[in-house]
Chains A and B, each alone.
Chain A
Amino acid sequence: MNEFLWLIPALPLAGALVLILTRGNLSRTVASIIGAGSVGMAAIVAIIINLDFISSGQQAYHQVLWTWMNVDDFSPAFAFYLDALSVIFIFVITFVGFLIHIYSIGFMADDSGFSRFFAFLNLFVCSMLILVLADNLVLLYLGWEGVGLCSYLLIGFWYDEEKNGYAARKAFIITRVGDTAMAIGLFMLFSTLGTLNIQEILTQAPQAWTVGSQTAIAIAFLLLGGAVGKSAQLPLQTWLPDAMAGPSPVSALIHAATMVTAGVYLIARMHVIFELAPVAQLWVGIIGAITLLLAGFSALTQFDLKRVLAYSTISQIGYMFLALGIGAWSSAIFHFMIHAFFKALLFLGAGAVIMVLHHEHDMFKMGGLKNKLPVIYWTFLIGAASLAALPFITAGFYSKDQILWLAWAGEKGNIWFYLAALIGALVTSIYTFRMVFLTFFGEEKTHVGHGAGRLITIPLVILAVLSLLGGFIELPHTMGHVTLLSDFLQPVLPDVVLRPGTEQSEWWMQGIAAILCLLGIYVAYFFYMKRTDLRAEIKGATYELNRFWFSGWGFDALYDILFVQPFLYLARTNKNDFLDKINEGMVTGANFFHKTFALTQNGVMRWYIMGIVVGAILILSLGLLLH
């Protein structure tokens, strides 16, 4: 079966090509069959191959399609590599992707760009699959930039709004900053190791460098730069909240479930290099910890439903980075998978709510939807509970709890990481349930349109089920100790090493996490359900802080001053190219001499004769003098 691996990215690509080439001339039914069907087929192929992979005892499979370029000893190929890590990623991408496609058929039903939308989505899925399947970093870079392009196209999908275009452009440029760092990392890798094949790098790196070598650290930081850009982590996180300009399925697919986790994938994939560069790995953790806090506090102050989810995504990916930073590789992947389920669910649910309310994004204008939209309410609630890590029943609890505990107990963990993660957990549950209470409880404030169709609710239900049950593939030591996922990933990603003497701490730490989650829910309940009158007071008292958090800690303004304005200033002042002044100078000079010498040409014959005489005398005397 493995030889059909190429079909997994090829099917969505074929779908995209058909949809692009027919240029919207297909009927909606056909377009949706091609769009969703191709991803569905890819999902089926992926599942079959994955089962095959598991049953064959995890034989890594390498498929070379063709040599891309072959110059000197630089020869990246179009080749795919299947191992446990990519298996998990292709499963999540195709499966969640398929559900989102199904949802999109209902969501985009009335949009004039229906088949264009599916073309872009398919192209995105294709690029993402290439990214995770690539056997070399150049092909990975192709997928990496491909998802960037699709993200650009999908954020700016509704092109008749100029600001959507600006949001899309911002996303592309900011992620490109990270990509550039990554590209430089690739140059360095190639010049030191002479290859960009991932497996070769992973085997050669430990031989070439000792732990803490300068080159390894530089490369790790450069790769981290790429990851930070794509995964919207500090300091390149500012594009993600604006990226919510795109249609909701896009936010679900790209900005929650798959693309933003590409950075997590990259770091996990290149974990050998990060282990060789402990400083860089520490920084992965620090960036994760800071980002998860900053984004969490920002989420508290948003009133646009999707922006809350955007900041929440940044924050959750911060958790994954934290996990990577402490070497808990499989925990990061675990959280990635669970996060893909519940965050896709939340985005899709939010999209449904927004659609039903006629494109109303403001949570404060929503309310009382609990009874009007029961399916959406329940599924959204499950997603929210999973995000807030409601103890024991949600998958989010298990995945996040693992990171929380390892932040303390892992060999590379420390108290600061743990505290950051803990505060983040509290904040998460506050903003999550603030969102739930504002949207679904209270009185109805906006007219509710027709309810969501089955195409929309079915994916929600499936994702809700996964958000509840997905966690049971990996249970902590205190509760059954199931390690399906980490065992599965073990050949690719090393197990986390615990600090001695921390084994016993797990149960009380889980207790703290559980209490904090419930506390957060209560806080949200207290301020947004019980004593809504207190809200205005607090808001008045903390107006400045609120504004600061609302703007995402002022990063946009900072970058505006530091980079955008200087660039624009240079561009504006030098619009006419100051170097052109050299030419203008030459022209002016020529004109000046022309005018000056033209004065001597006055038409008076005797003047000319005089000139001849003077000239002759000069030449004669020169000749005499030089003799």
Chain B
Amino acid sequence: MILLWFIIILMGSGVLAWIAAQWNTQLCRWISLLALVINFVFATLLWLDTERLSEPASTWISTFKVDWIPTFGISFNLALDGLSLLMLLLTFLLGALGVVASWREIQYRVGFYHFNLLWVLAGIAGVFLTMDLFLFYFFWEVMLIPMYFLIGIWGHENRNYAAFKFFIYTQASGLLMLLAILGLYFVHGRTSGIYTFNYFELLDTVMAPGTERWLMLGFLIAFIVKLPVVPFHNWLPDAHSEAPTAGSLILAGLLLKTGAYGLLRFVVPLFPNASLEIAPFAMLFGVIGILYGALLAYSQTDLKRLVAYTSVSHMGFVILGVFAFNELAWQGVVMQMITHGISTGALFLIAGALYERTHTRNIEKMRGFWAKMPFMATIGLIFSMASLGLPGLGNFVAEFLTLVGAWQSNPILTIFATVGLVAATAYSLRIMQKIFYGKVELTYTLPDLSIREKFVLVPMVVVIITLGLFPQPVLDTTRPLVQDILNNTKEAGIKKETILQQEEMLGLKGGSHE
């Protein structure tokens, strides 16, 4: 039941905030913040609760299910395991920080803004929670449309272009996923006689290899556009750089993660054999993404665009890890999802804070801000270091695990991925160099971070350092799930092999008859 409340609170307070803004915009902001804090607290309690159970009975911590459209086998099916829980925590944390970050930035159509913000978050939470593919698609769209408004209404100069690009990319790829979902629905219905969108039942679908390949591609495209993987990444720099600060935060911190989540939750478990087949290519694209994203990040002069391309680079590690098919890499991927959400989110917040002060995002026009804003410089330093993967910060744990895991399945590609770390150093230090080093004579005042901004950024610093030094609770939370998927994949592999062997034997027999 609590799972349903997570979503209802967000959607309800979104409407409430919109109404409240008619009278008082402050009230609207507080309502949004309160809703997210409540959700965050409940999610944390849930986590602590599961932590106490040292040996959980099943991977599923909490479930909720009612029939929705039983004729078509559609149910309102929510379930929560370690991965979803961590993603929810991240969603509510970044959501709350996003509300605080837009406290002063958004002064126009405040109510509608918060409505959209909360509905995006509700969509994301739904995506992380739902175990019904129809519902999944529904939430997938719910998070898309409000995001389109967030970019299109409150964005920077080129916002319309960016919003359309974002919408078309994600919508088109989402439709392919819908096709694949329907395909899976009918394939499963035809073979087993049960027409259902239920994830758990669809897991056991028996498919011909060709069908499996095509259906997997449908899902894969939706997720790798969202992730994004080069060459499907072009919506991202535009959307990220044109969105308002909180929008960029949510895009980078959460929306991209839905792609990674989808890969882990749907692509690999539903289509283990096809995923194994495509693994080398997917890993190759991951490595291309790492290097290409880093190169482009280095060449940007727009700070938000730069950070956006670093996301492309970092998400390359995710797809590299997902298709490495081992526990180390998958744990690394989960860590990467969380730490990248925080570190990149923080970099966007810094970019937003700088834009508020200087009214430019061009780093060529910035210089020597260390002397003026030492606090911001320190935070900026920490997150630049996080993005280049300095040990002791969360991103290192993620990247190291991913790379160690990837090495087991493909050493050559891993070498190239590791080279990406050098490129990451180049672009991260470029941020520091251009913004904070040098000497500047300013014609305007440049105040250091305000209390509100510190209130947002300092917790993120604490989280990223904690994750870097004590990642074990997070790893423990996702362990059951990761091992589950791994075992399923192995079983599927064995099953397939036995089928093949049987076919071979039958073939031999057939041959002997002739």
Contacts and interface: CB of A to CB of B under 8 A. Distances in A.
Do A and B actually bind? yes
Interface of A: 20, 23-24, 66-72, 74, 78, 138, 141-142, 144-146, 149, 152-153, 156, 159-162, 164-166, 168-169, 172-173, 176-177, 179-180, 183-184, 186-188, 190-191, 567, 570-572, 574-575, 577, 579-580, 582-583
Given A69-B401, A142-B392, A160-B438, A180 B418 contact: yes
Given A159-B436, A166-B433, A571 B299 contact: yes
B6 interface: no
A309 to B, nearest CB: 25
A582 B436 CA distance: 36
Question: Which among A78, A162, A187, A580 has the greatest number of chain B C-beta atoms within 10 A?
Answer: A187
Contacts of B392: 142, 145-146
A74 to B, nearest CB: 6
Contacts of B349: none
Given A71-B328, A165-B432, A183 B299 contact: no
B429 interface: yes
Contacts of A176: 388, 421-422, 425
Interface residues of B, number: 60
B296 A165 contact: no
Contacts of B419: 180
Contacts, number: 146
10 contacts: A71-B475, A138-B391, A138-B400, A159-B370, A160-B438, A172-B429, A179-B421, A187-B403, A187-B411, A571-B298
A513 B514 CA distance: 89
A20 B470 contact: no
Contact of B165 (A72, A188, A574, A583): A583
B234 to A, nearest CB: 5
A142 B370 CA distance: 26
Contact of B404 (A20, A169, A180, A190): A190
B234 A583 contact: yes
Nearest to A196: B404
A144 B396 CA distance: 13
A133 to B, nearest CB: 15
A269 to B, nearest CB: 18
A160 B230 contact: no
Contacts of A153: 381
B169 to A, nearest CB: 9
A183 B472 contact: no
Closest A-B pairs by Cβ, 7 of them: A165-B437, A571-B299, A142-B391, A187-B407, A162-B438, A160-B439, A575-B299
A145 B300 CA distance: 26
Nearest to B415: A184
A250 B458 CA distance: 29
B453 interface: no
B317 to A, nearest CB: 13
B378 interface: yes
B237 interface: yes
B391 A145 contact: yes
Contacts of B415: 184
B433 A165 contact: yes
Interface-centre pick from A71, A160, A577 (highest chain B CB count, 10 A): A71
A177 B299 contact: no
A74 B471 CA distance: 13
B295 interface: yes
A71 B401 contact: yes
Contacts of B425: 172-173, 176
Where chain B touches its partner, the secondary structure class is helix
B471 A68 contact: yes
Contact of B437 (A162, A567, A571): A162
A395 B421 CA distance: 41
Nearest to A153: B381
Nearest to A178: B422
Nearest to B471: A69
Interface string B325-348: 011100100000000000000000
B408 interface: yes
Contacts of B422: 173, 176-177, 180
B371 interface: yes
Given A146-B391, A173-B429, A191-B411, 9 more contacts: A24-B374, A71-B479, A78-B469, A159-B438, A160-B368, A180-B418, A180-B419, A570-B299, A574-B299
A160 B475 contact: no
Contact of A579 (B231, B300, B403, B470): B231
Given A165-B438, A575-B299, A183 B418 contact: yes
B414 interface: yes
Contacts of A169: 429-430, 432-433
A327 to B, nearest CB: 30
Contacts of A572: 299
B151 to A, nearest CB: 16
Contact of A184 (B298, B327, B367, B418): B418
A149 B390 contact: yes
Contacts of B16: none
B166 to A, nearest CB: 12
A183 B421 contact: yes
Contacts of B390: 145-146, 149
A230 B328 CA distance: 28
Contacts of A579: 230-231, 233-234
B284 interface: no
B7 interface: no
B44 to A, nearest CB: 22
A24 B469 CA distance: 26
Nearest to B161: A587
Contacts of A152: 429
B385 interface: yes
A166 B432 CA distance: 10
B397 interface: yes
B407 A70 contact: no
B403 A66 contact: no
B375 interface: yes
Contacts of B411: 187-188, 191
Contacts of B231: 579, 582
Contacts of A162: 367, 433, 437-439
A67 B472 contact: yes
Contacts of A161: 438-439
Contacts of B370: 159-160
A190 B406 CA distance: 12
Interface string B343-375: 000000000000000000000000110110011
A498 B403 CA distance: 42
Interface string B404-445: 100110010011001101100110011011001111000000
